[in-house]
Amino acid sequence: MINVKDKVVLITGAGGGIGREHALEFGRRGAKVVVNDLGSNVRGDGTSDLAADVAAEIVAHGGSAVSNNFSVADPDQAKAMVQQAIDEFGRIDIVINNAGILRNRTFKNTTTDDFKLVVEVHLLGSAYVTHAAWPFMYEQNYGRIILTSSVSGIFGQFGQSAYGAAKMGMLGLMNVLALEGRSHGIKINCLSPGADTRMTALDKELGIDPDKPRPQSHPKLVTPIALFLASDDAPNGMVIHGLSGRYLRSETFANKGIALDPDALAEDLISNIEQVLDMSSAKALAEPGNIALLGK
């Protein structure tokens, strides 16, 4: 059994969809939950008190939860939500960075303002919240941080340049913090989800109703990954996917490549380019920071 009883968990974007399922399940298992949600629509517009509704549902079922409507894209508000966890529950053990918005357009048609906003909410928002929680976790020699990535960034998705850039940025952030936090018991991983939510419903061809998710694509099927990555036995620096009931891991690979003399020309590279590009014998870089394996 994964035991998160009495752990203090902050979940951003937990007013609906995947974040809501995370919050409810952690609450059922006895965690003390800080439910964050700006209450906006999927584009980041408007407000409502979705977070309070989720917190009330957790409390109604015997759990412990508080809510806030702070914006992850504002560093001061990110600090405030972490401080709320400290003030209410005395510590912070787990941060699940789940908040996000979408403004899908092809790169040709997107605006720089939209691009900036998407990156601010996803990547910078995750960094701001994590940065606010980091000193507390460092001092207590314990922490679990989950960054929400996406196949849109890891593998690419048409019309999602800003979203994809932000989601791939999560891997870079994870790789560095996995190194910096491990001496103080902090583990950080990426969760790459797939489910029927307001975001996936934007693709009209899929015919998704976020209020009636398909059983095999229910947001609750992503939460087992979050529980595992928040547990005492969590790995460090991994990307794990939860896609409509399928669970898998992806990893960075590198091949042996070639070595050229200092006086080599571009033509020397080109004459060996097939060996540079050949991934048939590529090996995984076993853990973050293991760059010594490059070319081995």
Query: Exposure of 113 by Cβ count < 10 A (0-12 exposed, 13-18 middle, 19+ buried)?
Result: exposed
Within 10 Å of residue 17's Cβ, how many Cβ atoms? 25
Dihedral angle at the C-alpha atoms of 50, 214, 246, 119, nearest 10 degrees? Answer: -40
∠ CA 230-144-99, nearest 5°, is 80
- Write 56-60 long-range contacts (CB < 8 A, 24+): 57/24, 58/23, 58/24, 58/27, 58/28, 58/33
Mark whether 163 is an active-site residue.
Answer: yes
Closest CA to 194 of 174, 218, 171: 218
User: Which residue is associated with the tokens 């087992």?
Assistant: 224
Q: Which two tokens stand for residue 170?
A: 């999560």
Residue 203: phi, psi to the nearest 5?
-80, 95
Nearest one of 191, 210, 146, 172 to 12, comparing CA atoms:
146
Q: Which residue has 């694509």 as its token pair?
A: 217
Place of tokens 């405030």: 80
Nearest to 288 by CA among 189, 192, 193, 191: 189
User: Hunting for tokens 């977070």 — which residue is that?
Assistant: 51
Catalytic residue among 128, 138, 142, 163: 163
Closest of 192, 244, 202 to residue 220, by C-alpha: 244
Q: Which residues are catalytic?
A: 163
